[in-house]
Chain A
Amino acid sequence: MSLLYTVAPNLEKLGGELIKCLGETLKMVFVSGTISFFLGLFFGVLLIVTKKGGILQNVVIYRILEKAIDVIRSIPFLILMVLLIPVSRAIVGTGSGVTGSYVALIAGTVPFFSRQIESVLADLDEGLIEASESMGFSPIEIIFSIYLKESIPGITRVTMITFVSLIGLTAMAGAIGAGGLGDFAIRYGYQMHYTDMSWVTVIVILIIISIIQFIGNFIIRKTTH
């Protein structure tokens, strides 16, 4: 411990604050990540099945979805966050703090993740879809037992990428008072010139990302045959 304090002297008084901020970041990542995961899967699947030649081809739904995704993706996250404050108030009752950050984080993550899911599912051999149609499976059964089941390694890979970029977004959520590691680094590392605190933050984030990648790679290894 004392060695740690020699390297990062400010840690002694800010250790508790750092833990609190880490907790906020993890909470933001976990809650908005989980919701984004399911929403992204849903929209990614919707994109793939409604596109031309898809098993539930529907040009109207596809076009609307595609446009919506492109529009949201083109808005810088910081601006998106501010724009979504009223929406957040309507949905979760507040536009600030950790709770107030969920809506913006999800809105910033889902379009990106949906596109990634779409591209993973598009890589699946068309022949598998055709084979399962020839066996008399319905579109819903094909979505779950072919598209999603056969794509687990690819889905895991893009989920890892998305979580890493989500951690990047949570750093910005500090701007609406959500706290978190990004906010910690700005307050102490930048504004108070505690350079050691900037480095500590970076190391903590690296550890989180490494854990995500370790888990992801483990799943990919287990599911690739």
Chain B
Amino acid sequence: MIRLEHVDKIFNTAAGSVHAVRDVSLQIEDGEIYGIIGFSGAGKSTLVRCINLLERPSSGKVFIDDVELTALDEKKLREVRRKIGMIFQHFNLLRSRTVYQNIEFPLRKSKLSKAEKDAKISSLLELVGLSEKRNAYPSQLSGGQKQRVAIARALANDPKVLLCDEATSALDPQTTQSILKLLARVNKEMGITIVLITHEMAVVKDICDRVAVMEEGAVVESGNTVDVFSRPGEEITRDFIETASNIRKIHDLIADENELTKINAGDQMLLLTYSGSNAGEPLISYLSRAYGINANIIYGNIDFLKGKPLGKLVVTLSGKAEQIRQAREYIDSLGVEVEVIKE
């Protein structure tokens, strides 16, 4: 379990002081995948470095399994760090060493025998699917392969926690997916807690159990991934959801007065957000049957958050005012989020 208590980090530079992390308290449970999402400059990279104290918090406490890291001396801290793996956006592999030697590097301080180390490295290479690249140098690998080596290296000392700092940000979408699958596997099969920093919604929604949204150094919203993104409480969270779908397009189309978005007086254009069981399409056909109104679907999208569907529909309701009102009440009663886009 990782626990941050009122962590603050202030950088004093020649240009003035920068408050990179503001009063962050959070708790990350064993075995979960915890996402920290924020736009660049939100302080998330600094926050993740406060977990293994690569950046020492200006104030606040950091605990891992009830050991207060912020109270340890450098020597003890180095021992603890060996049990916290970390991977980076730019992989940080050692260029002068082969894939095998890179994975061997963190094992220098381990008490394993040479044969045990060799077996360990071979099994890690197998896990990340790079057995045949063991003698290659990093310069001969693709970005995705480099990150796989970095993951194997981070796992060499059997860590309990793996910190991922924008680990997929330098990779293309397809490679990102394969790295995320690997991380999910590492989490599931080895029971390693993963803390994942990203600015990509796609990363969070695929594998994170819980998520914290950061803005200007502070965590503005956190909780179960599905809950946070199906019922966003903050503007910034909505921004992230919009980056992952085409929903923003609708607003552009309305602004451009596109034919598609023209509605008649009395009509309403609604954005319906539904998650899990309250499925969308029966709702639309039910509305027209039960209330005698026309429900015209302009946009529809289903996202999957950790495998759970999160649907978004933009519909135009046209009909008599009273019927529309009743239809709205019915929609509300289903627990579907309704946002009026245009009326």
Contact = CB atoms under 8 A, between A and B. Distances in A.
Contacts of B330: none
Number of contact residues on A: which range applies? 20 to 34
Interface stretch (B89-97, B221-229, B264-272): B89-97
Nearest to B96: A150
Interface stretch (A93-101, A103-111, A122-130, A179-187): A122-130
Interface in B78-110: 78-82, 84-86, 88, 90, 92, 94-96, 105-106, 108-109
Contacts of A150: 94-96
Contact of A131 (B82, B86, B96, B138): B86
A13 interface: no
B92 A128 contact: yes
Interface in A114-172: 125, 127-128, 130-138, 141, 145-146, 149-150, 152
Contacts of B92: 125, 127-128, 130-131
B221 to A, nearest CB: 28
B112 interface: no
Number of contact residues on B: which range applies? 20 to 34
B88 A131 contact: yes
Contacts of B157: 135
B54 interface: yes
A149 B97 CA distance: 9
Given A149-B96, A150-B95, A152-B96, A127 B88 contact: yes
A206 to B, nearest CB: 32
B139 interface: yes
A223 interface: yes
B95 A136 contact: no
Nearest to A128: B92
Interface in A53-88: none
Given A145-B105, A225-B139, A134 B96 contact: no
A135 B84 CA distance: 8
Nearest to A146: B94
A158 B84 CA distance: 37
Given A133-B54, A136-B109, A225 B88 contact: no
A127 B139 contact: no
A186 B84 CA distance: 65
**Residue of A130, A133, A135, A141 most packed against chain B (CB within 10 A):** A135
B86 A134 contact: yes
Nearest to A129: B92
Contacts of A146: 94
Contact of B81 (A134, A152, A225): A134
20 contacts: A125-B90, A125-B92, A127-B90, A127-B92, A128-B92, A128-B94, A130-B88, A133-B81, A134-B81, A135-B82, A135-B105, A135-B157, A136-B80, A136-B109, A138-B74, A145-B105, A150-B94, A152-B96, A225-B96, A225-B138
Interface of A: 125, 127-128, 130-138, 141, 145-146, 149-150, 152, 223, 225
Across chains A and B, which 4 residue pairs bring their CB atoms closest together, nearest first? A225-B137, A131-B92, A136-B81, A127-B92
Interface of B: 52, 54, 74-75, 78-82, 84-86, 88, 90, 92, 94-96, 105-106, 108-109, 137-139, 157, 163
